[in-house]
Amino acid sequence: MAEQAQPAANPMVEAMLAQVRAALQWELSEEEAAVVRGRIEGSLKMAETLRAFPLTNADEPDFVFIPHREG
């Protein structure tokens, strides 16, 4: 049976995971590291989606917050 090639690790994900490990006062297990890695990958995908949408500095939010005043 031939081994399947593992996808290449994203260097950004690995760098961010290294920062998380450095900030912790305990060692992450492989299972915990996999969960953190997945969350980092998800956040990076969301950021990529947001960056793909063209905005100028003059674009305003899609909504306007109007607080409810009692009275």
Q: How far is CA 64 from CA 11, 20, 46, in A?
A: 38, 36, 23
**Contact indicator for 16, 40 with CB cutoff of 8 Å:** yes
Domain boundary assignment for the chain: 27-52
Higher-confidence residue of 54 and 62: namely 54
pTM of the predicted structure, to 2 decimals? 0.68
For residue 70, how many C-alpha atoms fall within 13 Å in the half-sphere facing its CB? 0
pLDDT for 1-12, tens place per residue? 556 666 678 999
What is the pLDDT, as a whole number, of residue 6?
Answer: 63
Taking CA atoms, 48 is separated from 10, 37, 44, 51, in Å, by 14, 16, 6, 5
Over residues 22-38, the pLDDT tens digits come to 999 899 999 999 999 99
pLDDT of 3 reads 63
pLDDT at 62: 82
Q: What is the mean pLDDT of the chain?
A: 88
Joined tokens for residue 49: 């989606």
